[in-house]
Chain A
Amino acid sequence: MTKLLEVNNLHTRFKVRNGYLHAVNGVSFSLDRGEMLGVVGESGCGKSVSMMSLIRLLPPAAEITDGEVLLEGEDITHASVNRVNAIRGSKVGMIFQDPMTSLNPFMKIGEQVIESIVFHKKLAKAEALKQAARYLKMVGISNAEHRLNEYPHQLSGGMRQRVMIAMALLNEPSLVIADEPTTALDVTIQAQIVELVKGLREKLNMSIIWITHDLSLLAGMVDRIMVMYGGYIVEEAVLDDIYKSPLHPYTIGLLKSIPSLKTEAGSRLPSIPGAPPNLFAEPTGCPFAPRCTYRVDRCTREVPALATVPGAEGDRPHRVACWVDMRGRGIAQ
């Protein structure tokens, strides 16, 4: 497999009333062609901001202060606004959590779908409408020609998300960034969307970055997982390694705290004490240190680097940012 995306040392911060909020603090990772990567972490840990920084889809208060982004070998870190606009929608498709806010409520579905085709492919309107109908069918919307004439509010949440997926795929992007695309949906509808995306990925051979706060959801879906905490990647490994031999105390704690069939009824769940950090101060140590039961002196003085260690399975390395060697101390198999 060849590299589709390479990200080095990305930093993004927000200007706030009395200083900065450090949302992304040195994120580095790469993505292969056709690979599906899960990005997981709780609310506010920097999942969306780091991934939207890649294509500079950020609010005005945000600034990228450092880092490098290579897409298909092209350095897009300092690409012009025009170039970035061309990349969004052609090479990179996006799907967001709430399709209602990304769709224009006053425009018919068809007009919104073809807007993007006409813009990027310079197709005639009639041709574009035909292509739009084809894509709506592909994402499982029955009666597609009819739906093109409807407004967003006439569709259910699940159907709106299918429309968003169709729009993200229209220009056959090589990368799709899906930011919590099923968080607002019911679990049976989530299952429909997950199956749909898995099928499309195989058919279209695209890379997908799937952002979620739900660690369980990724277990049946992605090739590799990146765990984020406090604006850092704290762990990254292939799917099975993350669940069976996690190495970061945060990942370990999170996995143990999820109730499952194996947890004993009526027992207390092993919970992580404390609360996630606010990101106003630039961290001087491990972001998880205030909540970590394995903490040593060094943890509060030095930010641990994301170091590569051999993976438990396969030849893909396992990366973890922790001063303590957690091998053999994680989750008992």
Chain B
Amino acid sequence: MNMHAKQEPLVVVENLVKHFPVKIGAFGNQSAVVHAIDGVSFAIYKGETLGLVGESGCGKSTTGFALLQLHKATSGSVKFDGVDLSKLPAKDLRAMRKRVQIVFQDPYSTLNPRMTIGEALAEPMRVHKICPEKDIQGRVARLIRDVGLNPNVANRYPHEFSGGQRQRICIARALASDPEFIVCDEPISALDVSIQAQIINLLMDIQEKYNLTYLFIAHDLAVVRHISDRVAVMYLGKIMEIAGKDELFGRPLHPYTKALLSAVPEADPDVERGRKRIILQGDVSNAIDPPSGCRFHPRCAHARPMCAGEVPELEDRGEGHFVACLRVAEIEKETV
């Protein structure tokens, strides 16, 4: 939660597109294209946390993967610290990899069951030549302590740990190469409710301690509100709204953001009794054949015929609040 140094972008994503060719039809004999992300642009500033929210399948993970070059983007660019990653030769990309890391949702499948915790943490240090061999033991111990475990766990195996402890180990492994930027892809969704707060606190502590920048992907909006400085809302492969956390939660402007926020239950019976929920009609449309114009138009209560014809671009509504809606000016008047 570093509010300083907002000026300097560390990551700049421009017009990123990722299409997956797939086979569909009863016999898998028809070719089709999943429009996983379709022209996504945003920047992440040094030291900040950008939250990325949206419903299942809207393209959050694909954005994170394409950003880290784990997926080859169909088009568009990702600049990290001024360098276009998609144009980087393989060996330079490898060097770049130590600066950018990822923590996944599932702490069970991401650790090698045959490697001790110590080996799992030492490996990236060796691969990226982070320090001389003699210093590795000490670094491993310090990392383990920094994620809230006892250094004597170094010679134990992943199966000996609970979900929350394993996620701590995954976080330590992400930190092992001394990165500047971490994509956290739903890092708490697989954890027990009473463990989630521990991991959120840990992520915030190490961000401060190691000066990290985060892309924090989650579908739990309360958690995103807590941990993020700015938040981007995705729907069907597009960013619909992006703004400072207080702006976005306090004054959402996009009809989809409004519906999404109104659907989130609060642990407060008085709030729940008094609230008027916007119930969206129907389901999220299909990413194989996304709706024309504004992708939200089939479910939008504010839609007009023009919404099916024209694709809204992200437009600056002041205070760093960007909205992609053709009718945002009219809707903003209603909000005030």
Cross-interface CB contact of B271 among A219, A239, A268, cutoff 8 Å: A219
| Min C-beta distance of B333 to chain A, whole Å | 25
Q: How far is the CA of A159 from the CA of B284 in the complex (A)?
A: 12
Cross-interface CB contact of A239 among B249, B269, B280, cutoff 8 Å: B269
Q: Given A217-B265, A275-B163, list of 5 further CB < 8 A pairs?
A: A42-B194, A187-B263, A189-B283, A260-B268, A273-B198
Q: A195 and B277 in contact (CB under 8 A), knowing A188-B55, A255-B267, A265-B226?
A: yes
Q: How far is the CA of A191 from the CA of B281 in the complex (A)?
A: 11
Chain B residue nearest to A215 (CB atoms) is B267
Taking a contact as CB atoms under 8 Å apart, the answer to whether B283 and A156 are in contact is yes
The segment out of B139-147, B217-225, B300-308 that lies at the interface is: B217-225
Chain B residues contacting A266 (CB-CB under 8 Å) are 1, 204
Pick the most buried of A195, A219, A239, A240: most chain B CB atoms within 10 A of its CB. Answer: A219
Taking a contact as CB atoms under 8 Å apart, the answer to whether B260 and A188 are in contact is yes
Q: How far is the CA of A269 from the CA of B165 in the complex (A)?
A: 18
In A250-266, the 8 Å CB interface with B consists of 250, 253-255, 257-261, 263, 265-266
Chain B residues contacting A190 (CB-CB under 8 Å) are 263
The yes or no answer to B195 lying at the interface (CB within 8 A) is yes
Taking a contact as CB atoms under 8 Å apart, the answer to whether B165 and A275 are in contact is yes
Which 8 A-B residue pairs are closest in the complex by CB-CB distance? A220-B272, A266-B1, A271-B197, A259-B226, A257-B197, A191-B263, A186-B55, A269-B197
The yes or no answer to B200 lying at the interface (CB within 8 A) is yes
Taking a contact as CB atoms under 8 Å apart, the answer to whether B245 and A265 are in contact is yes
Chain B residue nearest to A276 (CB atoms) is B192
Chain A residues contacting B193 (CB-CB under 8 Å) are 42, 213-215, 254, 257
The yes or no answer to B311 lying at the interface (CB within 8 A) is no
Chain B residues contacting A243 (CB-CB under 8 Å) are 267-269
The yes or no answer to B279 lying at the interface (CB within 8 A) is yes
> What are the interface flags for B88-111 relative to A under an 8 Å C-beta threshold, 1 for contact and 0 otherwise?
000000000000000000000000
Taking a contact as CB atoms under 8 Å apart, the answer to whether A186 and B284 are in contact is yes
Q: How large is the interface on A (under 10, 10 to 19, 20 to 34, 35 or more residues)?
A: 35 or more
Cross-interface CB contact of A258 among B222, B260, B269, B277, cutoff 8 Å: B222
Taking a contact as CB atoms under 8 Å apart, the answer to whether B264 and A261 are in contact is no
Chain A residues contacting B152 (CB-CB under 8 Å) are none
Q: Please list the residues of chain A having a beta carbon within 8 angstroms of any beta carbon in chain B.
A: 42-43, 156, 158-159, 186-192, 195, 213-217, 219-221, 239-240, 243-244, 250, 253-255, 257-261, 263, 265-266, 268-273, 275-276, 291
Q: How far is the CA of A291 from the CA of B275 in the complex (A)?
A: 35
Cross-interface CB contact of B192 among A42, A214, A259, A268, cutoff 8 Å: A42
Chain B residues contacting A271 (CB-CB under 8 Å) are 194, 197-198, 200-201
The yes or no answer to B134 lying at the interface (CB within 8 A) is no
Chain A residue nearest to B228 (CB atoms) is A265
The yes or no answer to B259 lying at the interface (CB within 8 A) is yes
Pick the most buried of B165, B201, B246: most chain A CB atoms within 10 A of its CB. Answer: B201
Chain A residues contacting B263 (CB-CB under 8 Å) are 187-188, 190-191
Q: Please list the residues of chain B having a beta carbon within 8 angstroms of any beta carbon in chain A.
A: 1, 55-56, 162-165, 192-198, 200-201, 204-205, 219, 221-223, 225-226, 245-246, 249, 259-260, 262-269, 271-273, 275, 277, 279-280, 283-284
Chain A residues contacting B1 (CB-CB under 8 Å) are 265-266
Chain B residue nearest to A241 (CB atoms) is B269
Chain A residue nearest to B55 (CB atoms) is A186
| Min C-beta distance of A260 to chain B, whole Å | 6
Q: How far is the CA of A129 from the CA of B230 in the complex (A)?
A: 52
Chain B residue nearest to A272 (CB atoms) is B194
Q: A158 and B272 in contact (CB under 8 A), knowing A191-B263, A260-B266?
A: no
| Min C-beta distance of B287 to chain A, whole Å | 13
Q: How far is the CA of A88 from the CA of B197 in the complex (A)?
A: 39
Chain A residues contacting B200 (CB-CB under 8 Å) are 259, 269, 271
Chain B residues contacting A219 (CB-CB under 8 Å) are 265-269, 271-272
| Min C-beta distance of B269 to chain A, whole Å | 5
Q: A216 and B245 in contact (CB under 8 A), knowing A42-B192, A158-B283, A271-B201?
A: no
Q: How far is the CA of A274 from the CA of B157 in the complex (A)?
A: 19
Taking a contact as CB atoms under 8 Å apart, the answer to whether A159 and B283 are in contact is yes
What would 29 A/B residue contacts be, using CB atoms closer than 8 Å? Answer: A42-B192, A42-B193, A186-B284, A188-B263, A191-B262, A214-B265, A215-B193, A215-B267, A216-B222, A216-B266, A217-B265, A219-B266, A219-B268, A219-B269, A220-B269, A220-B273, A250-B194, A257-B193, A257-B194, A257-B197, A258-B197, A258-B267, A259-B225, A260-B266, A260-B267, A266-B1, A266-B204, A269-B197, A275-B192
Chain A residues contacting B277 (CB-CB under 8 Å) are 191, 195
Q: How far is the CA of A156 from the CA of B273 in the complex (A)?
A: 30
| Min C-beta distance of A237 to chain B, whole Å | 12
Q: How far is the CA of A95 from the CA of B283 in the complex (A)?
A: 20
Chain A residue nearest to B192 (CB atoms) is A42
| Min C-beta distance of B51 to chain A, whole Å | 12
Pick the most buried of B162, B249, B263, B265: most chain A CB atoms within 10 A of its CB. Answer: B265
Chain B residue nearest to A243 (CB atoms) is B269
Q: How far is the CA of A156 from the CA of B279 in the complex (A)?
A: 17
Q: How far is the CA of A254 from the CA of B192 in the complex (A)?
A: 11
Taking a contact as CB atoms under 8 Å apart, the answer to whether B260 and A259 are in contact is no
| Min C-beta distance of B117 to chain A, whole Å | 17
Chain B residues contacting A240 (CB-CB under 8 Å) are 269
| Min C-beta distance of A266 to chain B, whole Å | 3
Q: How far is the CA of A270 from the CA of B194 in the complex (A)?
A: 10
Chain B residue nearest to A155 (CB atoms) is B283
Taking a contact as CB atoms under 8 Å apart, the answer to whether A188 and B280 are in contact is yes
Chain A residues contacting B259 (CB-CB under 8 Å) are 188
Cross-interface CB contact of B194 among A188, A192, A253, A259, cutoff 8 Å: A253
